[in-house]
Chain A
Amino acid sequence: MKLVLYGGGHEEENLHLDAEAIKLTNVSDPRVTYIPSCSYDSEVDFIAFVQNYRKLGLTRFIHFPIDVPFDQVLLSEAMSSDIIHLSGGNTYYFLKYLRKTGILSRLKAFVKNGGVLTGMSAGAILMTPDIKTAGYPKFDCDDNDEKVKNLKAMNIVPFEFFPHYKNSTRYEKELVMQSKKVSTPVYAVPDHSGIVVDGNSMKFVGKTVCFHKGKKVPLSSHLKLV
């Protein structure tokens, strides 16, 4: 399993995480598919994404919005990419369409077959058991306008992912409380930081904080994924 989970932030400040993703492919000129959380003006984000990755020498990209009708040709091309990137955005909306189109399960198969799956914020949350972290804290959470009830996500990592983490009392208080409700650790990842999963090994890039069973737990940079 090869994954990169981005905490958030601007593309140009996440180049080090992009480089990690490329390294995981073991391919000299990997093909990258960009799946936006919502097609609304996603061309603009796609172009920003491409321009950033180009700095690392990549040239082969597919833009694959999934909340609009798409053809099977582009779908199978996307699924045969070396890297699939799930963008940031509204996690509920993204989950709704990934499930509706059947792509959620295809992404799991993609990962199982050795593809590198990367996700920014909402895209990273979708790799976890469920998307509950998108619903808190109240002062900074996604709106569930789509009224999504089934919050189960890909469940390919045994932890919760909390993006855009800021080292402040109110975030800490919220995460301490929320971590009491789940058995898995909650990794709180600030912008420009991330988690790299390669097989059973997990690497933290930047200042990730772990909240587990109501406590803030110190992290070593490398952990075993269990």
Chain B
Amino acid sequence: MTKLKRKNDLEVNYDYEKFSTINGEHPLKKACDEAFIEYGARVRKGGKVAAFNFALGKEMGLIPKGHPDKMTPELEKKILETFGIVIINEYDEINNIKFPEKEILPHKYMATRYLQLQHPNKQGKTSGDGRSIWNGVVKHKGKAWDISSCGTGATALSPATAIKKKFFQSGDPSISYGCGYSELDEGMSTLFFSEIFHKNGIDTERVLAVIDFGNNISINVRAHQNLLRPSHLFNHLKQGNYEALESLVNYYIDRQEKNGVWKEVPSSRTARLQFFLKKEVEVFAKMAAKLEDEYIFCWLDWDGDNVLMDGSMIDFGSIRQFGLFHSEYRYDDDDRFSTSIPEQKDKARYTVQTFAQLVDFLITKEKKNVKSFKDSKATQSFDKYFIKNKRKNLLYKLGFKPETQEALLKPAKKEIDALLDSFSYFERAKSKAGLHKVPDGINWNAIFCMRDILRELPQLYLSRNTNIQRSEFLEIIKSYYCTEEDLAPNSYRDKKIDDFQEFYWKLVRKAAKFNNEDEQTVLLNMTMRSSIINKMDRVTGDSISEIVHKVMHAKPKIKPTKLFELLSEFVDYQDLKPESKMANADKESQSNLVKGMLKIVREYREGL
């Protein structure tokens, strides 16, 4: 009998035609012509695909589900044809620079307008995508995905153009940020960081591809189901542009509804707007609590930039995740310092306040001062949702099962708040060494690692069935930054240790009662879940930078297929969700590069 010869995966002709629909066309163009500047574009030669996110490509329907996670020459060609582009900007036109006809693309691409605090015009008249364009939209399984590329040339919306009052040639070496190009290491960091966030349920834009043009110059292609930021609306609000604002809000609501993110959206205009406000309140309260509890630094400010409307992370250039609650860290952006993590909540609240002003404006057609919304129903709801999410996050980190977390929220509110109080006390304790400079800003070191106590305490309680000593408590939580002086006897701290243990036990007892289990069973479940949630090795911003450096300088150079393999392995390792971790429990032996990555993660685990 003749054996059928099975075709090699890579010998199959895969359909990459969906890439061809990404051509600059986007529904936002029809929704609001004041939301963008259009640019012609041309082919940019000399690029090589440095990274491609096969998983995201499948999710978006760009490559078939059965496509191997391997780069094919045809796929690379499609990626380069679709995303290897540069805009024809004002500088090119003023200087009458001619490009070969065959290299000019048929459609135009949007650089969108949004508010940005670093621009001299505080109404968003000059600001927006300074080095990005929107490539288009793809639809797959009822979901629309926006795609945008960073590093596609200098637009008129960059701070450099607004400040210097001139247009720049793309790639102009005299002006780094305004040159319109982006960096390869930035793209790679975003790829690693965003995939880890995504794996852990932290909403984020994701990197679809990175194209390397040499000399650390790249185009970084990002995707998300809705790439609008609050700042896309706030510029029109500042300018009192009612029509543009209304068009964009309607566009946003429609997309959320069509993508199935928002359900039961009311049909009447006022109810729709109130629904929109309620959703934004929930989004920003949840996000602010999450950022604080996961020690994620994201530079939020009054402009509503650096975050998407649905609370997703973007622009990973300044995003960090700390190992400890370094609550005094501030990023130094040359002419200003960023907000700190605790201030993020106030900025998120202010964003909600601005949304309240925005919705009121759309309903009444009268633009009131934003200050009059300081204690509005929306900001009050924000405060309530914020604390509710803080409580939820604590119960999750303690290791309670999902159904127990829900059940404890109301009846154990007093105990949760008391534990939260002690928890925050230790989390925010700072070194006697004081404020000091760090490579990209300033910091005042946190000294206690709360993840360690959350991981070890249920095990110790199971073993002893009683409290641990105060000295033992400190021995467990003390970090690398903690000095003898920091640990000097302190009666208030002793009381906080006692409170922590008292309310921890009270919650365990309440959970046992609710679950109809004994305390040991509750503690055992907490032990197991907490060992994953509070895993010792969690990435920090510094560790991601080091890992990316290692990946970029590996010899021989890592090709996209291998890179995706490494990324997947590393991201799976950093999956700190008990359910998905246990569901994907098959582990293979680590490659030498991943072993090296783990060492880096460990070395930087308490840092910035």
Contacts and interface: CB of A to CB of B under 8 A. Distances in A.
Interface of A: 31, 39-41, 43-44, 46-48, 50, 54, 59-63, 65, 68, 71-74, 77, 81
A39 B528 CA distance: 15
Interface in B528-580: 528, 531-532, 535-537, 573
Contacts of B532: 43-44, 47
B521 interface: yes
A77 B460 contact: yes
Contacts of A65: 536
Given A59-B521, A73-B475, A73-B476, A50 B463 contact: no
B472 interface: yes
Given A60-B520, A72-B475, A43 B581 contact: yes
Contacts of A73: 456, 460, 468, 472, 475-476
Contact of B602 (A47, A61, A63, A68): A68
Nearest to A38: B590
A44 B582 CA distance: 6
A138 B65 CA distance: 39
Contact of A47 (B462, B463, B475, B531): B531
A213 B479 CA distance: 53
Q: Lowest 3 A-B CB distances belong to which pairs?
A: A43-B531, A59-B520, A73-B472
A118 to B, nearest CB: 18
Contact of B475 (A31, A68, A71): A71
Interface of A is mostly: mixed
B585 interface: yes
Nearest to A62: B459
B582 A47 contact: yes
B243 to A, nearest CB: 55
B525 to A, nearest CB: 10
A60 B459 CA distance: 7
A77 B581 CA distance: 27
A71 B537 CA distance: 15
Nearest to A50: B528
A41 B576 CA distance: 10
B587 interface: yes
B476 A59 contact: no
Contacts of B528: 43, 46-47, 50
B105 interface: no
Contacts of B537: 39, 68
B598 interface: yes
Contacts of B587: 40-41, 44
Interface residues of B, number: 29
A81 B464 CA distance: 10
A77 B582 contact: no
Given A40-B590, A62-B463, A72-B475, 9 more contacts: A43-B531, A47-B532, A47-B582, A50-B528, A60-B463, A61-B459, A61-B462, A61-B524, A68-B536
Nearest to B533: A43
Interface string B437-471: 00000000000000010001001101110001000
B220 interface: no
B535 A43 contact: yes
Contacts of A50: 524, 527-528
Nearest to A32: B463
B536 A39 contact: yes
Contacts of A68: 536-537, 602
B398 to A, nearest CB: 16
Contacts of B585: 44, 48
A62 B531 CA distance: 10
Contact of A63 (B452, B468, B475, B527): B527
20 contacts: A31-B462, A39-B536, A40-B590, A43-B531, A43-B532, A43-B535, A44-B581, A50-B524, A59-B520, A59-B521, A60-B520, A63-B459, A63-B527, A63-B531, A68-B537, A71-B452, A73-B468, A77-B459, A77-B464, A81-B463
A63 B456 CA distance: 9
Most buried by B among A44, A48, A63: A44
Contacts of A39: 536-537
B324 to A, nearest CB: 15
A31 B463 contact: yes
A152 to B, nearest CB: 25
A54 B528 CA distance: 12
Contacts of B535: 43
Nearest to A72: B475
A63 B534 CA distance: 13
Contact of B524 (A44, A48, A59, A72): A59
Nearest to A60: B462
A177 B460 CA distance: 48
Contacts of B475: 71-73
A207 to B, nearest CB: 28
Given A50-B524, A62-B459, A71-B475, A40 B531 contact: no
Contacts of A74: 456, 459-460, 476
Contact of A61 (B476, B527, B536): B527
B462 A59 contact: yes
A30 B102 CA distance: 77
Contacts of A60: 462-463, 520, 524
A47 B590 CA distance: 20
A27 to B, nearest CB: 13
